[in-house]
């Protein structure tokens, strides 16, 4: 029996253990709320549990917490005040005694909030299997994927297969809102000849993703009593910041329409978008609001990024210029222009569809009965960070972010099909065998 057949069979026979591992990970509450100073939850306990398993399989394991300020040079991506206390990163290394190619398998262990919990059919942190699906917060995004890559590495070790190239298994925190964990790994020099992140791609290798900008736009008004007649603002009258914000929102909408008209600029990615997502204004219900702030989620194509590192500084200037020019038509806003605060910035990335790791993943999927095609993520993922730091990385994993019309990731009653977990672990093991090669007998 070939090495590939042995490991595929082993994972099929150990499918219960794989599902149990995914369920164990779901039970750890590793919720992130996108707050720089939020306390750690169960991240350390989860990482220690994985470290114990990987050490037991013969891996050299490193667990560490990045030091405060260690990522300050990448302030474009990591918000001020973010710390890693209680949220360690994990790297486990297998084999690599020969001249084979190295492979990085990476996954994030943080999950989004499970609220509103009362809408779940069962406790989101007490996983259950119903109708062939594993339910729980993170089952799809992406503790199921983490379980598949760990199971693949363990199966290779348990089958006594020594890889020619090094296999690196890593798990990180803080992906869901800024990707700081993967950035910490890349900044530490963790790299390989190629990488795979088993996000929920539906067995399609994602080779590209859009970048993300996060501006907050503030429109000033002038407070006054809402129940009292007001003179013209030039004579000291009140100005409604919420009403003036609608002019700014029109500018956002027209720029979005302009970007959307450029459809087809990328073979796999949709045009960039600007979507207002949070708005806050007003101080008292009988006052003219003194200010109104709007947060906008901006996604942009790789070719819209800067030449130096892909950051969207040029695009930020374009957005500001567009909004200022169009709001200037209003006399009040011409004298009191909107102000801008730029938050999280996640640079886009892509690798060639012809890169060998892409065909390796596709071929491995075909081998286990899960054929796929090259695709891309319209949002952002950690694969972009590793790619930008020199490890060409794709995302490739079990059932996708939606399943026949059902939302899976970030949803109430989040789930992943059990059969997909097994097939993904098998595909990752086959990909590792083919990419890294098998060490010859001495």
Q: Which residues are catalytic?
A: 110, 175
CA atoms of 227 and 285, how far apart (whole Å): 10
CA atoms of 141 and 138, how far apart (whole Å): 5
CA atoms of 84 and 62, how far apart (whole Å): 15
SS3 label, residue 259: helix
CB 364 within 8 A of CB 430: yes
CB atoms within 10 A of CB 160: 8
- Cα–Cα distances (Å) from 189 to 94, 116, 192, in that order, read 17, 39, 10
- Of the candidates 435, 431, 436, the one whose C-alpha atom is nearest the C-alpha of residue 152 is 431
> Measured on CA atoms in the order 9, 22, 410, 300, is the torsion positive or negative?
negative
SS3 label, residue 400: coil
CA atoms of 160 and 162, how far apart (whole Å): 6
- H or E, element range at 207: strand 206-209
CA atoms of 81 and 299, how far apart (whole Å): 24
> Measured on CA atoms in the order 407, 409, 415, 418, is the torsion positive or negative?
positive
CA angle 257, 260, 261 (to 5 degrees): 90
Q: Which residues of 245-277 are buried (b: 16+ CB within 10 A; e: fewer)?
A: bebbbebbeebbeebeeeeeebeebbbbbbebe
DSSP 163: B
- Pure H helices in 340-417: 356-367, 383-388
Tokens 């990615």 locate to 269
CA atoms of 109 and 87, how far apart (whole Å): 10
| Beta strand residue intervals within 29-152, DSSP E | 60-64, 89-95, 103-108, 128-130, 133-135
């Amino acid at each position: 029996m070939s090495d590939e057949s042995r490991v595929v069979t082993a994972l099929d026979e150990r499918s219960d253990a794989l599902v149990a591992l995914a369920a164990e990970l779901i039970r750890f509450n590793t919720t992130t709320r996108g707050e720089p100073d939020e306390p750690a939850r169960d991240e350390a306990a989860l990482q220690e549990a994985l470290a114990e398993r990987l050490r037991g399989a013969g891996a050299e394991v490193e667990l560490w917490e990045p030091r405060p300020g260690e990522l300050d040079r990448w302030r474009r991506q990591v918000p001020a005040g973010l710390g890693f206390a209680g949220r360690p990163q994990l790297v486990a290394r297998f084999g690599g005694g020969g001249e084979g190619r190295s492979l990085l398998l990476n996954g994030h262990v943080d999950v989004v909030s499970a609220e509103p919990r009362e809408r779940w059919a069962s406790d989101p942190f007490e996983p259950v299997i119903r109708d062939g699906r594993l339910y729980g917060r993170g089952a799809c995004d992406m503790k199921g994927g983490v379980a598949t890559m760990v199971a693949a590495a363990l199966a290779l070790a348990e089958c006594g297969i020594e890889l020619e190239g090094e296999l690196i298994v890593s798990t990180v925190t803080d992906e869901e809102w800024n990707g700081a964990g993967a950035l910490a790994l890349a900044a530490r020099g963790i790299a390989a000849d190629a990488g795979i992140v088993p996000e929920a791609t539906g067995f399609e290798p994602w080779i590209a993703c859009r970048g993300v900008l996060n501006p907050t736009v503030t429109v000033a008004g002038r407070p006054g009593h809402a129940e009292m007649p007001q003179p013209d603002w030039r004579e000291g009258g009140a100005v409604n910041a919420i009403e003036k914000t609608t002019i700014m929102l029109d500018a956002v909408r027209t720029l979005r329409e302009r970007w959307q008209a450029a459809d087809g600029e990328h073979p796999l990615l949709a045009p960039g978008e600007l979507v207002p997502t949070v708005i806050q204004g007003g101080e008292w219900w009988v006052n003219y609001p003194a200010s109104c702030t709007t947060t906008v989620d901006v996604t942009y194509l790789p070719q819209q990024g800067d030449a130096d590192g892909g950051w969207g500084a040029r695009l930020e200037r374009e957005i500001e210029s567009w909004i200022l020019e169009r709001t200037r038509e209003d006399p009040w806003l011409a004298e009191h222009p909107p102000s801008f605060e730029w938050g999280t910035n996640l640079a886009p990335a892509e690798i060639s569809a012809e890169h060998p790791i892409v065909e390796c993943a596709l071929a491995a999927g075909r081998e286990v009965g899960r054929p796929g095609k090259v695709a891309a993520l319209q949002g952002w993922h950690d694969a972009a960070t590793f790619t930008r730091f020199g490890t060409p990385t794709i995302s490739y994993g079990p059932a996708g972010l939606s399943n026949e019309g059902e939302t899976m990731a970030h949803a109430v009653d989040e789930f992943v099909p059990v059969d997909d977990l097994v097939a993904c672990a098998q595909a990752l093991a086959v990909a590792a065998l083919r990419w890294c090669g098998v060490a010859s007998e001495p």
